[in-house]
Amino acid sequence: MRMMDRRTKIWILVLVVFCALCAGAFLILRGIGGDGTVAVISVDGEELDRIDLSRVKESYDIEIDTGYGRNVVHVEPGAISVTEADCPDKICVAMGRLQGSGIPIICMPHHLIIAIEGDGIDG
């Protein structure tokens, strides 16, 4: 392999540092959420439902028709997840269960967001 020139090295350094900063930012941002227990389900920013997961005694399912498509949300004590969706990518189902702080579940094609409301962050 040829020797890398200086500019190539600089670019590699810049990108690696950028990734490291992102990793740090992620850890900080995720911490801000705190350990809230209230799950908020919204479509296009409009709140559909608000569930205090710490008060859920028995699991149940909610069916949501967002106007863009259908999702089945599974509510269980302390956690919430999307178990069914008729969107093409099914990423929301693959994201699994959301509990405590964590990154919100999104179903992009259906404009659906499920977030746990923390203390500081607007969610």
Partner 1 sequence: MGDRSLSKTRRLALMAVLTAIALGIFMLEAQLPSPVPIPGVKLGLANIITLTAMLILGRREAGVILLLRIVMGAMFAGSPSTLIFSAMGGVFAYLCMCLLTRFIPEERLWATSAVSAVAHNAGQLLASILVLRTPGLLVYAPVLAVSGVITGVFTGVAAKYLVRALRRLRL
Q: Which residues bind partner 1 (CB under 8 A)?
A: 7-8, 11, 15, 18-19, 22-23, 25-26, 29-30, 33, 42, 44-45, 68-69, 87-89, 91-92, 94-96, 103-104, 106-111, 113, 115, 121-123
* Integer Cα distance of 40 and 54 in angstroms: 13
Our CB check for partner 1 shows the closer of 77 and 96 to be 96
- Min CB(74)–partner 1 separation in Å: 16
* Separation of alpha carbons 13 and 26, rounded Å: 20
Residue 4 beta carbon to partner 1: minimum distance, rounded to whole angstroms:
10
72 vs 121 by CB, closer to partner 1:
121
Q: Which residue's structure tokens are 């990734």?
A: 19
Q: Which is nearer to partner 1, 19 or 78 (CB)?
A: 19
Position of tokens 């004590």? 77
Beta bridge partners of 61: 74
Contacts of 94 (CB under 8 A, 6+ apart): none
**Coil vs helix vs strand at 22:** helix
Shortest Å, Cβ 57 to partner 1? 27
